[in-house]
Structure 1
Amino acid sequence: MHLVSVMRRCVWAVLLWPNLLTSSVPLDCRQEQGGVSRCSSISQEKLLDRVIQHAELIYRVSEESCSLYEETFIPLPLQFQRNQAGYSCRTLPIPSSRSEVQQISDKWLLHSVLMLVQSWLEPLVYLQTSLDRYDAAPEVIINKTKWVSEKLISLEQGVVVLIKEMLDEGLLNLNHSEEALFQYDVQPEMVESVMKDYTLLSCFKKDAHKMEAFLKLLKCRQTEIYNCS
């Protein structure tokens, strides 16, 4: 029954995958000749909307990938072992109270999103390499991981342009964080590799959710329609 359930999820994921790609909003902020961003002709409001939609898609796909990976590779005993063995995420400290949320600045929100994005670029490349070594990795997981990795680069570009336009700051160098939030080995043993990759996916899902939440809080502050606390 477990195998049948996994196969059904894979079939549905493959069927829905083209719809996900076609429904995504393009976000291409690469630099053209002369150093002009392709997003320069887009209003700040629309650019923020596109960045938010991009973050929403990334989080949704990361959630689907994590669930599918868990059903495919992580039986209940290993899930319990993971919880007991101390596999945990290094996380960005976030405001935990209403007053702290009110005190954080737009600059903090944007720079935190950028830091989270950049901290995951290399780990996701590692994850692609690791999944390619699996004998039974569903292709949909591999494809989703590659898709997220590519879209994360686009999200990085969009956030950099937002920082320039909203904070009136110069374009930042797109250097990746020297100390990623998730630490990973190059070639661990297979069982440990499966657990580390599962932890990586779980940690990325949590950080992708933070990226989405920070950007939506920023949008809320711009529109002043909702209670942003």
Structure 2
Amino acid sequence: MAACSAIPIGDLLDRASQHSDKLHSLSTMLSQELDSHFPPIGRVIMPRPAMCHTSALPTPNDKEQALRVSESDLLSLARSLLQAWADPLLVLSTSANTLPHPGQSRISNKIQELREQSKSLGAGLDILSGKMGPDARTVSALPYGGGNDLGQDKMSKLINFNFLLSCFRRDSHKIDSFLKVLRCRAATTDPQLC
């Protein structure tokens, strides 16, 4: 921890951005893997993104909006989103072992990798928030109320797993975008160039 305090914020943001990019890439690969054997009817009955447990957190919808948010608030939003996924990633991890999908083993391994990347990124963001002041340390609680069981039958398990993963993919994209804006701001004297 002491060694990390000597590292410049720009370098910490570079590392965090690399981790968030890896996190989003992994979630995208997982989504594609699931989609390869997802029944068409599942897409019709899958809940909409507005039903994700993190939807209650007001976040910028695009880059222009993100550029108008302060650095400490962007980091706080990224940390809030990431922390909101600790329990759901555990649910995905335990559910992946019984997922009725031909790529179940690969999916299970990638979910485990997602959890590890998420923890690593969280630790890095904690260090960053300590350097950026009290506003960056604020975390909004976004409790996951979905429970540990994604369903009893194969279709329910697949649909609920896919839905939860699609929510994570959406949020990992937001986290990655926020951190890229922060990294750009740290690297340039003109934030409008970001």
TM-score with structure 1 setting the length: 0.71
Map of 2:121 onto structure 1? 155
The 2-side partners of 1:98 and 1:210 are apart by: 10
Which structure carries more relative contact order (alpha carbon 8 Å, separation 6+)? 2
Q: What residue identity is the alignment partner of 1:47?
A: L
The structure-2 alpha-carbon separation of the partners of 1:201 and 1:95, relative to structure 1 and needing over 3 Å to count, comes to same
Once the two structures are superposed, the pairs formed by residues 156-195 of structure 1 within 5 Å of their partners are 156-167=122-133, 169=134, 177=141, 179-180=143-144, 183-187=145-149, 188-190=151-153, 191-195=155-159
Say which is worse superposed, 137-146 or 48-57, in terms of deviation.
137-146
Matched, 1:115 2:77: no
Q: What residue identity is the alignment partner of 2:159?
A: M
Query: Identity percentage over the alignment?
Result: 26
Q: Report if aligned partners of 1:39, 1:161 keep a CA contact under 8 Å in 2.
A: yes
The 2-side partners of 1:196 and 1:146 are apart by: 18
Matched, 1:95 2:57: no
The structure-2 alpha-carbon separation of the partners of 1:136 and 1:104, relative to structure 1 and needing over 3 Å to count, comes to closer
Report the 3-state secondary structure (helix = DSSP H, G, I; strand = E; otherwise coil) of the residue aligned with 1:227: helix
Could you tell me how far 1:95 is from its partner in structure 2?
2.7
Report the 3-state secondary structure (helix = DSSP H, G, I; strand = E; otherwise coil) of the residue aligned with 2:32: helix
**Unmatched tracts of structure 2, length 5 or more:** none
Q: Report if aligned partners of 1:121, 1:176 keep a CA contact under 8 Å in 2.
A: no
The 2-side partners of 1:211 and 1:58 are apart by: 9
Map of 1:45 onto structure 2? 10
The 1-side partners of 2:59 and 2:193 are apart by: 15
Could you tell me how far 1:61 is from its partner in structure 2?
0.5
Map of 1:13 onto structure 2? none
Report the 3-state secondary structure (helix = DSSP H, G, I; strand = E; otherwise coil) of the residue aligned with 2:146: coil
- The number of aligned residues is 187
The 1-side partners of 2:85 and 2:77 are apart by: 13
Once the two structures are superposed, the pairs formed by residues 53-132 of structure 1 within 5 Å of their partners are 53-72=18-37, 74-82=38-46, 86=48, 88-90=51-53, 91=55, 92-96=57-61, 100-132=65-97
Map of 1:9 onto structure 2? none
The 2-side partners of 1:158 and 1:113 are apart by: 12
TM-score with structure 2 setting the length: 0.83
Map of 1:220 onto structure 2? 184
The RMSD of aligned alpha carbons is 2.8
